[in-house]
């Protein structure tokens, strides 16, 4: 899985590239928009908007005109108008500096999952539950469970960090994406459906005021 980082600040790009390599990604870093347009061959692009040679929006527009490569805009611009413009140009997500590496990694994996470019190593096992992200199949104690696309994505997020509390905000970002402007109660509807389909409500624990955690059973 090859990631292209388009970032002119060494202090940001170098540790970011090192961290992503430790996570198993192949990383190419460039510092200008022209280098980004010449690079090619990436599975996902992390694109800073403030580049020394050209506007990052122009880079995104040209990249999108050439291919459907997933784009996450990484920028210090946090105004709603900037986010909307980026998404309208075809970006798949938008993250504002400063951000944590953990959050960015979650965004990357979510975009790869939504765009069908998830790495091969994607079978998650939690107790008797198995979630295969590559084939999008779920089994409990060997029996297959039929889920809707959003139910599957939600379960995959929880299964990716079992026993940890996953916030509502992170769930919305990873499952519904940066374009989602609906009510967060949609999470509760999908959680209720997942509990029913998994056969035991104890699989998913609600943590009041925070989010949800997946608990191993069996």
DSSP characters for the chain? -EEEEE-S-HHHHHHHHHHHHHTT-EEEEESSHHHHHHH---SEEEEESB-SSSBHHHHHHHHHHH----EEEEES---HHHHHHHHHTT-SEEEESS--HHHHHHHHHHHHHHTT---S--EEEETTEEEETTTTEEEETTEEE---HHHHHHHHHHHTSTTSPEEHHHHIIIII-TT--S-THHHHHHHHHHHHHHT-GGGEEEETTTEEEE----
Give the residue, 213 or 116, on which the prediction is more confident: 213
In the chain, what are the domain boundaries? Answer: 2-114, 123-214
| Residue pLDDT, tens place only, 149-175 | 899 989 988 998 888 898 888 888 778
The predicted structure's pLDDT at residue 141:
92
Task: Determine the average pLDDT of the residues in 127-150.
Answer: 91
121 falls in which pLDDT band (50, 70, 90)? Answer: very low
Best CATH choice for the domain 123-214 from the list 3.40.50.10170, 3.50.50.60, 1.10.10.60, 1.10.10.10:
1.10.10.10
Q: Are the beta carbons of 158 and 204 closer than 8 angstroms?
A: yes
C-alpha–C-alpha distance, residues 62 and 70, integer Å: 13
Specify the fold of 2-114: Rossmann fold (3.40.50)
Q: Are the beta carbons of 28 and 34 closer than 8 angstroms?
A: no
pTM over 0.85: no
| Residue pLDDT, tens place only, 81-114 | 777 777 778 788 888 888 888 788 888 888 887 7
The predicted structure's pLDDT at residue 120:
46
């Amino acid at each position: 899985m090859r990631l292209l980082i388009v970032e002119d600040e060494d202090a940001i790009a170098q540790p970011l590239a090192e961290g992503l390599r430790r996570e198993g990604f192949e990383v190419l870093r460039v510092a200008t928009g022209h280098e980004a347009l010449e690079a090619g061959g990436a599975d996902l692009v992390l694109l800073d908007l403030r580049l020394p040679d050209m506007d990052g929006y122009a880079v995104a527009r040209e990249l999108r005109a050439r291919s459907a490569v997933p784009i996450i805009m990484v920028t210090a611009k946090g105004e709603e108008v900037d986010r909307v413009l980026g998404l309208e140009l075809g970006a798949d997500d938008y993250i504002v500096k400063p951000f944590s590496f953990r959050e960015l990694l979650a965004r990357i994996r979510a975009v790869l999952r939504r765009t069908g470019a998830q790495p091969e190593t994607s079978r998650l096992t939690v107790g008797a539950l198995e979630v295969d992200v590559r084939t999008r199949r779920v089994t409990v104690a060997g029996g297959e469970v039929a889920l809707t696309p959003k139910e599957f994505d939600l379960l995959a997020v929880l299964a990716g960090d079992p026993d940890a509390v996953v916030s509502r905000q992170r769930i919305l970002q990873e499952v519904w994406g940066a374009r989602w402007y609906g009510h967060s109660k949609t999470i509760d509807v999908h959680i209720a459906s997942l509990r029913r389909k998994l056969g035991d409500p104890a699989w998913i624990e609600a943590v009041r005021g925070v989010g949800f955690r997946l608990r191993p059973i069996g």
